[in-house]
């Protein structure tokens, strides 16, 4: 169950009480407020709050750069200029706060982005729900032979079934032991001392779900999305990034459009890569051996060129 009955009741109550405001409002973001977008089997992303819009980016840029932006004719053009030239502070004027429910192993990968404010569900204070991420069989693959942090060929149906059985069995058993350790009632119904929750949690697997509130400015959010919404990112975090992209696209459409063009859909070439491209355009047949690049660099260069 992605959203508990209590959370849904809170969402319904908040959505039923709109308030007038003098702050900048993004109609696109308003449509997402308090709506839980399902991700994976039990997870979700929901927009809790936001500050600023496309106009706030331009307002900050014009204050900062003054006469330097007079040649830019409109807000969208200014935003594209800022994105194209890697200006960051105007995008930091916008912020977003998300409520995310995600597997622990995804959270540990996500938290590597240390430029956000995070408050996570406390398993020292509360009891974790019996919810685990169990992959769809289509997502089960062998270790890649060329990428130490990626997946390779899909597992056979028989091997997938075996892996899923292990994942489900281990998750069920560890949670049973967790519940038994923290219980204050023995098998015979008599009272007993339950193990402290902060200790009992150590036995739980990394695919159990946790939740947090995550607040970040737009510049650092774009950095997160550039890495995690990329086709090479791990599937389990990429689907969260994709869900966030849909929210950001409606919240700041001009900024997201520039980001999608210059970052998600664009590419950065090294000096060697740029030189090789010039040689190719001049008609020269360039190979890895004549490029001055390593095999890994050449493979990535070929990937950029398609």
Q: Do 67 and 198 belong to one domain?
A: no
Active-site hit among 228, 238, 263, 279: 228
Q: Which residues are annotated as a binding site?
A: 89, 109-114, 120-124, 201, 217-219, 223, 228
Q: Do 13 and 114 belong to one domain?
A: yes
Q: Do 155 and 74 belong to one domain?
A: no
Mean pLDDT of the chain: 92
Find the helix or strand (DSSP H, E) in which 252 lies: none
Q: Do 305 and 162 belong to one domain?
A: no
Minimal CA–CA distance to 61: which of 23, 35, 87?
A: 87
Q: Do 160 and 198 belong to one domain?
A: yes
**What's the pLDDT score for residue 30?**
94
Mean pLDDT of 265-284: 94
Q: Which residues are annotated as a binding site for dUMP?
A: 109-112, 120-124, 201, 228
| H-helix segments, the chain | 5-15, 27-32, 54-65, 75-84, 104-110, 157-182, 197-200, 218-228, 235-251, 253-259, 271-281, 288-291, 295-305
Q: Do 146 and 12 belong to one domain?
A: no
Q: Do 95 and 165 belong to one domain?
A: no
Helix (H, G, I), strand (E, B), or coil: what is residue 212? strand
Residues 162, 75: Cα–Cα separation, whole Å:
55
Query: Is the per-residue pLDDT at 135 higher than 90?
Result: yes
Q: Do 54 and 129 belong to one domain?
A: yes
Q: Which residues are annotated as a binding site for FAD?
A: 89, 112-114, 120, 217-219, 223
Minimal CA–CA distance to 81: which of 258, 266, 268?
A: 258
User: How does pLDDT run across 10-29, given as a tens digit for each residue?
Assistant: 888 888 888 888 888 999 99
Mean pLDDT of 63-68: 61
Count of the separate structural domains present in the chain: 3
Q: Which residues of 163-184 are buried (b: 16+ CB within 10 A; e: fewer)?
A: ebeebeeebeebbeebeebbee
**What's the pLDDT score for residue 71?**
53
Find the helix or strand (DSSP H, E) in which 24 lies: none
Phi first, then psi, for residue 46 (nearest 5°) are -140, 140
Residues 171, 298: Cα–Cα separation, whole Å:
42
Confidence of residue 148 (pLDDT cuts 50, 70, 90): confident
Pairing assessment for the beta strands 151-154 and 141-143 based on DSSP bridges: antiparallel
Q: Do 58 and 167 belong to one domain?
A: no
Confidence of residue 144 (pLDDT cuts 50, 70, 90): confident
Catalytic annotation on 238? Answer: no
Residues 306, 303: Cα–Cα separation, whole Å:
5
Q: Do 12 and 100 belong to one domain?
A: yes
Q: Do 102 and 223 belong to one domain?
A: yes
Neighbours of 211 (CB within 10 A): 17
| Percentage of the chain exceeding pLDDT 90 | 75
Domain extent at residue 290: 269-306
Q: Do 72 and 14 belong to one domain?
A: yes
**SS3 track for 124-161:** CCCCCCCCECCCCHHHCEEECCCCCCCEEEECCHHHHH
**What's the pLDDT score for residue 147?**
77
């Amino acid at each position: 169950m992605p959203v508990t009955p209590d959370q849904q009741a809170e969402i319904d109550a908040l959505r039923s009480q709109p308030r007038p405001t003098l702050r900048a409002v993004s109609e696109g973001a308003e449509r997402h407020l308090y709506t839980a977008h399902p991700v994976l089997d039990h997870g979700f992303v929901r927009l809790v709050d936001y500050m600023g819009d496309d106009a706030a980016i331009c307002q900050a840029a014009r204050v900062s750069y003054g006469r330097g932006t007079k040649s830019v004719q409109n807000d969208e053009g200014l935003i594209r200029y800022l994105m194209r030239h890697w200006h960051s502070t105007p995008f930091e004027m916008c912020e977003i706060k998300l409520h995310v429910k995600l597997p622990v192993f995804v959270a540990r990968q996500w938290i590597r982005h240390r430029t956000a404010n995070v408050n996570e569900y406390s398993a020292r204070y509360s009891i974790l729900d019996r919810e685990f991420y169990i992959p769809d069989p289509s997502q089960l693959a062998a270790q890649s032979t060329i990428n130490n942090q990626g997946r390779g060929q899909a597992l056979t149906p028989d091997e997938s079934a075996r892996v899923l059985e292990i994942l489900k069995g281990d998750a069920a058993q560890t949670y049973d032991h967790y519940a038994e350790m923290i219980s204050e009632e023995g098998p015979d119904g008599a009272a007993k001392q339950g193990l402290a929750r902060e200790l009992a949690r150590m036995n739980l697997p990394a695919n159990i779900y946790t939740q947090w509130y995550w607040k970040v400015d737009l510049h650092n959010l774009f950095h997160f999305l550039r890495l995690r919404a990329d086709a090479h990112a791990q599937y389990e975090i990429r689907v969260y990034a994709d869900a966030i992209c849909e929210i950001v696209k409606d919240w700041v459409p001009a900024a997201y459009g520039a980001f999608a063009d210059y970052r998600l859909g664009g590419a950065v070439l090294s000096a060697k890569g740029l030189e090789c491209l010039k040689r190719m355009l001049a008609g020269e047949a360039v190979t890895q051996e004549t490029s001055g690049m390593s095999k890994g660099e050449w493979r990535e260069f070929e990937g950029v060129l398609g």
